[in-house]
Amino acid sequence: MEFWVHVLNTVLIFTMLGLSLNLVLGFSGLASMAHAAFFGLGAYSAALLSSRLGWPFPIDLAAAMLITAVAAAVAALPALRVRGEYVILLTLALQMLAYGLMLSWVELTGGRTGLPGIPRPVFFGWKLVTPLDFLPLTAISAALTFLVCQRIANSPYGRVLKALREDETATLALGKNVVGFRVSIFAVSGGLAAAAGALFAHYHAFINPFSFSLDQSIFLIAIVTLGGTGNLLGTVVGASLFVGIPELLRFLHLQQDIVAPFRNLIFGLMLVAFMRFRPQGIIPEYSGLGRKGRAAGSRVSPLGNLVRAGGKNLVAMGLSKRFGGIQAVKGVDLELHPGEVVALVGPNGAGKTTIFNLLTGFLKPDSGRVYLNGEDISALPAWQRARRGLVRTFQDVRIFQRMTVLDNVLVAIPEQCGESLFNLFFRPKRVATDEVEARLLALNYLEFVGLKAETNVLAESLSYGEQKLLALARAMAVGPAVVLLDEPTAGLDPQWVTRLLELVGRLRATGCAIGLVEHNLEVLRAVADRAYFLEAGQVVAAGRPDELIKDPRLSEIYFGL
Amino acid sequence: MAGEPRLNVTNLVAGYGRKQVVFDLSLKVGAGEIVALIGHNGAGKTTALKSIFGLLPAWSGAVYFEGKAITNSTPAANVRRGIAFIPQERAVFPDLAVEENLDLGAITVTDPEVRRRRLKEVFELFPVLRERRRQRAGTLSGGEQRMVSLGIALMVRPRLLLIDEPSLGLAPVLVQRIMDTVQGICREQGASVLLVEQNVRQALRVADRAYVMRAGRILLEESGPSLLARGQWWDLF
Amino acid sequence: MNVELLAQLLVNGLISGSFYALVGLSWGLIFATTKIFHFSHAFTFAAAGYGFTLAATAGLPLPVSAGVAGLVGLGFGLTQERWLYRPLRRASASQLNIFLASLGFLFAGQSLLQIVFGPSARRLPGFTEIGVSLGPVAFTHLDAITLAEAAGLSVLTLTVLYKSRPGRAIRGVASNPELARAVGINDDAVFSLVFAIGSLLVGLASVPYVLRNAATPTMGIGPVLGGFIGVFLGGIGSYGGMLAGGLILGLAENLGGLFLPGSWQPVIAFVLLFLMLLTRPAGLFGQATR
């Protein structure tokens, strides 16, 4: 009997580990190889604080969580600012470092022989000794961990994490502080893993480094991946199956040194097989299990309320950019004013998209400055420019494929209360009311572009034209003062083009300043108030489209000499 | 155009991802002919060219080269048949030297004597490249990189050249030179050329025939000189 | 400052740095060309090491056993390209999923090695290192072999990359994969080739490692991690940079011995990586554009 309870306790502790890893691996798409290190850091911290300094049970656990959360955030910081493979590399090095320290810092950790004599927790005079004693504690801890992870996953904060995972560039363009989100989720994940570690330490009353090795990190990744990344229930299933069954096999008194490698062999093979044939895992992310919050009855408010009141002036001076031997942009000056649609026109390769990238902060210019309503934003990164109302769309659309249409727009809405972890847990009422308002807002935008019927559909199943409209709704949801549309009508059938142009017109009517790159000259004539004519990275002419078209010099440039 | 067209495309449908860009495209290029495919950006010209060459799948329709069906062949197979493709951008190997770039163009040519000879021909055509043969291609100017990309294609002595916007990002003088070069290659080597271009005037100056594409379909087909004579094309774009 | 100690540490650093450089080049070549984070390269190392141990224990002369190690590495490397990565590529798997599959393969492979050979270290009987003294500096003949092997194989590999047609094709694919396809380069063939070269190299690199330490199922992780760090320190865009990065790592780890006890080497590796990512993610010799 006690044996079954022990298995259950182990499953519960590993469930906590799996859930916390899923936050990083599944929801954020970051392959952390250091989860066992965080598990171990929590275990050793709690063990040392309780046995050497005499700290009582829940206090040492809390301290272990805090220490590990901070360590996780600091250690991972440089990698989180750059690309995917760096996270793998840095966390791998971190894992090896931690393990190495556990083995070699003998005075602190006891080295290979480990730390014995970890005190048992005492609750109101009742000492937890047997597995059965521990069961309520582990069960409650696992449940709490699940609730915390669920709260995070289904929140505005979780939405941003998923968007990050889908397309980091597009998320930056919405004004989200990508690095901030990544660091905070790493900290949370590390802290929860440490809680599991502290429990583990007190449960076994003895720890040694071998529970916190790279193999363990890989095993945890396997549990989460096989169970289903991005799905918490999947992790519960994964932990139950993949931890429970091998533990039960011990019951059959199989040779200990055979069980572990056989288990790992099978899991390794399963991981390969799943990645090939069922990468979404046992329970996929969108399994239709309980999507909360159906679209409430809608209320169409006039668009003026939706968009930030009034636009801003965008001024660029002397922008230049060179790529290797090619001068892509040279000394470009331009201005966008509120309530105006300004087009950038020119042959292919004239530098139009490069200029957009320079204006929005996705590329650093070699020289030149950008001003938004007089404020010099040249040094600001892309996400901060977006927060000031400078918003863009992309030539290659870049919607968040594995999120619903509604979530695509919801995530764009700025200053959401629920994007802060503090608010999520300490101001739930404000987050809830804020979310209701945000939903209504998002639905209004979807109605504006005509996608209201598709709210709960995954974005990847939309047609190309619908995806472009979704991208527009998403850009509008940021509440832009200036919108830069990169080839908005490219690849669209004529009726979609008309639709899009109508929307652009309505957007202009709200006072927004609109810039667009456009190749379709019919569109240009229909919607642009002014145009800049670019050639080989320089502005060659500026003025109203019908005047420009009459200019023979421009005809030469556009159609060649 | 007498006899079997060198390139015959019938009812091509193509796109990328889930985006359909080319709807029912048909065109022909005869032996030794220069045919221009013009139209506004986003009309599907590059997609069409890539599908013909095998860099993108053709969703339906057929492509014939010298009478043989080559629909959805791999680019490598097409190069061996004598078809060369010059992309619009990133058309060189930036980290490799100019000479190495050209050598890779001849990767399918097994005889080293032939490779040496062709390299010499390319250097004769573009003396600037001989000067810069050891320089890394990514550090060359835009015009020089365009020459390298042409040179790469010429290393297989192609019977069909598919060129995507050769004038891209080049100053007018250079564009003229490139077009003249293309015309020269066609005349001297008997190569056929299918040229996607946005620089209408330059393309029509050297083209025997032209197709105008708009929103994924062929709008009209006309001889180069007569289309050029129109003088302006705003209504076609 | 003890000059003799410094000289000794420099030599030690050079030796272990050359090892990292070789392992790093073997992995970095694969990564630069295929963009696959080939984590299971650590398994190839381990398998080759066991191959060497078996061959040597069976009585084959050491150079022949080393050849066996190389072939074992080559075999497993090609197997992984053909049966692990290629099907995933055809199925358009994401970068993350390809990495996870690599992780799974490593996990399975190491476990298999453990089942077959047992977890404890397998030392090669009858091999002892011979000490050599050169002035104030002491090293063993195995150290000299390590350095010579690393130097020789690196030069050989660079020669192949820069002076042969297949090498040029490899660099072409690394530089512009789309254009490589457009000129008719068979990218499947090139992928197989880099996996073959990289795995052969890492297999040969395992030989002096196994002679010095003993063979264990997880022995590949440490060396390959050192290789990764060296590659990223030096910068992915340059093969010479990858080699230099490995040398720098080796030197740093050993010179760090002036200040820290020996078992703190993983600290140095981590700190170097941390600092590099913080200040210059493209690596010391890499270009920022990618």
Distance to chain A for C111, nearest Cα, Å: 5
What pLDDT band is residue A302 in, cutting at 50, 70 and 90?
A: very low
pLDDT tens digits along A360-410: 999 999 999 999 999 999 999 999 999 999 999 998 889 999 999 999 999
C90-115 in b/e form (b: 16+ CB < 10 A) is: eeebeebbbbbbbbbbbbbbbbbbbb
Q: Note whether A16 and A139 are same-domain residues.
A: yes
Tell me the ipTM for this assembly: 0.92
Q: Note whether A480 and A333 are same-domain residues.
A: yes
Tokens at B90, concatenated: 């990133």
Could you give the CA distance from residue C218 to residue A217 in angstroms, rounded to a whole number?
A: 14
Q: Give the three-class secondary structure for A441.
A: helix
Could you give the CA distance from residue A241 to residue A226 in angstroms, rounded to a whole number?
A: 10
pLDDT tens digits along C200-223: 999 999 999 999 888 999 999 999
Contact A261 C115 (CB under 8 A): yes
Tokens at A262, concatenated: 């056989």
User: Does A226 map to a domain?
Assistant: no
* CATH number of the domain encompassing residue A486: 3.40.50.300
User: Does A272 map to a domain?
Assistant: no
Q: Give the three-class secondary structure for B9.
A: strand
- Asked if the C-beta of A549 comes within 8 angstroms of chain B's C-beta atoms, the answer is yes
Task: Return the closest-CA partner of residue C20 out of C255, C219, C204, C228.
Answer: C228
Instruction: Give yes or no for a contact between A295 and A406, defined as CB atoms under 8 angstroms apart.
Output: yes
Instruction: Give yes or no for a contact between C282 and C288, defined as CB atoms under 8 angstroms apart.
Output: yes
User: Does A377 map to a domain?
Assistant: yes
Please give the backbone phi and psi of residue A283, each rounded to the nearest 5 degrees, phi first. -115, 110
Structural domain harbouring A342: 311-399+462-559
**Between the CA atoms of A77, A78, A80 and A81, what dihedral angle is there, to the nearest 10 degrees?**
120
Distance to chain A for B199, nearest Cα, Å: 5
Task: Return the closest-CA partner of residue A184 out of A158, A209, A166, A208.
Answer: A158
Contact C108 A264 (CB under 8 A): yes
Q: Note whether A195 and A316 are same-domain residues.
A: no
CB atoms within 10 A of CB B132: 20
- Asked if the C-beta of C180 comes within 8 angstroms of chain B's C-beta atoms, the answer is yes
Tokens at B131, concatenated: 């000067």
Q: Which residues of C touch A99 (CB under 8 A)?
A: 266
Q: Note whether A45 and A187 are same-domain residues.
A: yes
Q: Note whether A202 and A88 are same-domain residues.
A: yes
Q: Which residues of B touch A493 (CB under 8 A)?
A: 215
**Between the CA atoms of A194, A198, A200 and A204, what dihedral angle is there, to the nearest 10 degrees?**
150
Is A253 a residue whose pLDDT tops 70?
Answer: no
What pLDDT band is residue A507 in, cutting at 50, 70 and 90?
A: confident
Contact A97 C266 (CB under 8 A): yes
> For position A136, what pLDDT does the model report?
92
> For position A177, what pLDDT does the model report?
92
β-pair type (A530-535, A341-345): parallel
pLDDT tens digits along A512-549: 999 999 877 778 888 999 999 888 889 988 999 888 87
Could you give the CA distance from residue B232 to residue B215 in angstroms, rounded to a whole number?
A: 19
pLDDT tens digits along C44-64: 999 999 999 999 988 889 899
Residue of C nearest to B53 (CA): C182
β-pair type (B217-223, B209-214): antiparallel
Could you give the CA distance from residue C65 to residue C55 in angstroms, rounded to a whole number?
A: 5
Beta-strand (E) ranges in A292-372?
A: 314-323, 326-336, 341-345, 367-372
Instruction: Give yes or no for a contact between A267 and C104, defined as CB atoms under 8 angstroms apart.
Output: yes
Taking CA atoms, A301 is separated from A306, A448, A471, in Å, by: 8, 10, 21
CB atoms within 10 A of CB C148: 12
Contact B90 C176 (CB under 8 A): yes
> For position C280, what pLDDT does the model report?
80
User: Does A453 map to a domain?
Assistant: no
Contact C175 B95 (CB under 8 A): yes
Q: Which of A193, A211, A229 is the last residue of a domain?
A: A211
pTM over 0.90: no
> For position A17, what pLDDT does the model report?
97
Could you give the CA distance from residue A389 to residue A308 in angstroms, rounded to a whole number?
A: 8
User: Does A441 map to a domain?
Assistant: no
- Asked if the C-beta of C168 comes within 8 angstroms of chain B's C-beta atoms, the answer is yes
Q: Which of C169, C179, C237 sits opposite B90 (nearest CB)?
A: C179
Instruction: Give yes or no for a contact between B152 and B122, defined as CB atoms under 8 angstroms apart.
Output: no
Q: Which residue has the tokens 């730390």?
A: A115
- Asked if the C-beta of A493 comes within 8 angstroms of chain B's C-beta atoms, the answer is yes
Region of B219 please: left (phi>0), alpha (psi -120 to 50) or beta: alpha
Average pLDDT along chain A: 88
Q: Note whether A352 and A204 are same-domain residues.
A: no
Q: Which of A88, A219, A265 sits opposite C99 (nearest CB)?
A: A88
Instruction: Give yes or no for a contact between C96 and A31, defined as CB atoms under 8 angstroms apart.
Output: yes
What pLDDT band is residue A301 in, cutting at 50, 70 and 90?
A: very low
> For position A308, what pLDDT does the model report?
55
What pLDDT band is residue C137 in, cutting at 50, 70 and 90?
A: confident
Is C100 a residue whose pLDDT tops 80?
Answer: yes
What stretch of H or E contains C132?
Answer: strand C131-134
> For position A33, what pLDDT does the model report?
94
- Asked if the C-beta of C176 comes within 8 angstroms of chain B's C-beta atoms, the answer is yes
pLDDT tens digits along A459-496: 988 888 889 999 999 999 998 999 999 988 877 777 78
Contact C182 B87 (CB under 8 A): yes
Q: Note whether A205 and A322 are same-domain residues.
A: no
What does the pLDDT average to over A444-450? 89
CB atoms within 10 A of CB A318: 12
pLDDT tens digits along A155-170: 999 999 999 999 999 9
Q: Note whether A351 and A483 are same-domain residues.
A: yes
Q: Which of A165, A189, A211 is the last residue of a domain?
A: A211
What does the pLDDT average to over C148-153? 96
What does the pLDDT average to over C100-107? 95
Q: Note whether A174 and A315 are same-domain residues.
A: no
Q: Which of B53, B96, B107 sits opposite C175 (nearest CB)?
A: B96
> For position A79, what pLDDT does the model report?
82
Contact A350 B176 (CB under 8 A): no
User: Does A447 map to a domain?
Assistant: no
- Asked if the C-beta of C164 comes within 8 angstroms of chain B's C-beta atoms, the answer is no
Is A300 a residue whose pLDDT tops 70?
Answer: no
Tokens at A340, concatenated: 């105006």
Which stretch of A243-257, C93-107, C232-246 has the lowest confidence by average pLDDT?
A243-257
- Asked if the C-beta of B87 comes within 8 angstroms of chain C's C-beta atoms, the answer is yes
Q: Which of A211, A228, A244 is the last residue of a domain?
A: A211
Contact B90 C180 (CB under 8 A): no
Residue of C nearest to B76 (CA): C184
Instruction: Give yes or no for a contact between A101 and A184, defined as CB atoms under 8 angstroms apart.
Output: no
Which stretch of A81-85, A138-142, A218-222 has the lowest confidence by average pLDDT?
A81-85
User: Does A323 map to a domain?
Assistant: yes
CA C165 to chain centre: 24
What does the pLDDT average to over A230-238? 92
β-pair type (A375-376, C131-134): unpaired
- Asked if the C-beta of A536 comes within 8 angstroms of chain B's C-beta atoms, the answer is yes
Residue of B nearest to A522 (CA): B237
- Residues with Cβ within 8 Å of residue A70, at least 6 apart in sequence: A187
The ranges of chain B with pLDDT < 70 are 1-3, 42
What pLDDT band is residue A291 in, cutting at 50, 70 and 90?
A: very low
Contact C101 A262 (CB under 8 A): no
> For position A293, what pLDDT does the model report?
38
> For position A559, what pLDDT does the model report?
67
User: Does A304 map to a domain?
Assistant: no
Could you give the CA distance from residue B226 to residue C33 in angstroms, rounded to a whole number?
A: 49
> For position C188, what pLDDT does the model report?
94
Contact A491 B88 (CB under 8 A): no
> For position A453, what pLDDT does the model report?
87
Instruction: Give yes or no for a contact between C234 and C286, defined as CB atoms under 8 angstroms apart.
Output: yes
Q: Which residues of A touch C96 (CB under 8 A)?
A: 29, 31, 84
The domain total for chain A is: 2
